Structure 1
Amino acid sequence: MSALDATQAALAAEHAAVYGYGVVGGRVGAGRRAEATAAYEAHRARRDALRRTVRDLGGTPVVAEAAYALPFRVADPAAAARLAAVLEDRVAGVYSDLVRAAEGPQRREAAAALREAAVRAVRWRGSDVTFPGLAERV
């Protein structure tokens, strides 16, 4: 996978995460609302940075879908927390690919994004995975 392709995949995942956190924020309990808001803002910032990176690599940034299919029904705070963990796992997976495809500063940024997503996933899930970013590929 080229650095441009991996960056586009990360951008698409960030679009989906921003959308998903809109759902999380609407269903999560009041005690975790600030955490959901912080994650939402972090994903928006990463999304915006990835748009610039795609342009720097000579590409046209992928655009967000009008809506995204959720992996399950989110009707209560527990489901919202599960969705947040899934979103972070998915984002970690694409950043894992980007770490492998990128070089230099972009690789360091991808590694930082992977680490941040893994930490957020642990917080939402309450447990960790052995190899963040690779969990969905097993």
Structure 2
Amino acid sequence: MSASTERLQLALAAEHAAIYAYGVLGAHLTGDELAWARAGDLAHRQQRDAVADLITTASATPAPAAPAYQLPKPVTDRAGALALGVQVETRAAAVWRSALGSLSGTAREVALDALVGSAVRGAQWRSVAEPGKSPTVTWPGGT
């Protein structure tokens, strides 16, 4: 398997995990925040499909989603859901950022779109999860 296909498989795994996490966090939100969760879930489903198509185009088989994923901590309320939203998008941005260097053409465009989308959603979640702090980060997906 090529380095780019391996990176795409890692990105696919991150998208599967993000979709799972959005299902968990959405159960603890209402109003605009629930709408954000639904939009985030849809965005990650679209990214999952796009990256699965890239993997298939590379003559590889996209890895299936796991039945469940380990969350950083239990989500039992709104605050936990908001924190998970931040963590999901931070992790997704990191995975997509790390993939950029080994990708080119359409795959690189998909990765860049995913990175930007995660950065925007991460800022949105930070704006409510961490009031008083800047919702943006210097380099999304960086350490």
Q: TM-score interval w.r.t. the shorter chain?
A: over 0.9
Alignment check: 8 A CA contact 1:28 1:77 kept = yes
Pairwise CA distance, 1:30: 2.9
SS in 2 for 1:27: coil
- How many Å separate the matches in 2 of 1:104 and 1:49? 14
Q: What do the CA deviations read for 1:91-138 (whole angstroms, capped 9, x no partner)?
A: 101101221110012112211110110110011012121111113xxx
Partner of 2:18: 17
Long gaps (5+) in structure 2: 128-134
Partner of 1:129: 137
Aligned residue pairs, count = 135
Q: What do the CA deviations read for 1:18-58 (whole angstroms, capped 9, x no partner)?
A: 00000011112333111100000110111111111111112
Question: Runs of 4 or more off by more than 6 Å in structure 1?
Answer: none
* TM-align CA RMSD: 1.2
Q: What do the CA deviations read for 1:49-95 (whole angstroms, capped 9, x no partner)?
A: 11111111121111111101110121111110110110001110110
One-letter code aligned to 1:123: Q
One-letter code aligned to 1:109: V
Matched, 1:85 2:86: yes
Alignment check: 8 A CA contact 2:95 2:141 kept = yes
Alignment check: 8 A CA contact 2:93 2:119 kept = yes
TM-score (ref. length: structure 2): 0.90
Alignment check: 8 A CA contact 1:10 1:94 kept = yes
One-letter code aligned to 1:105: T
One-letter code aligned to 1:132: P
Alignment check: 8 A CA contact 1:28 1:78 kept = no
Identity of aligned residues (%): 39
Partner of 1:26: 27
Higher helix share: 1
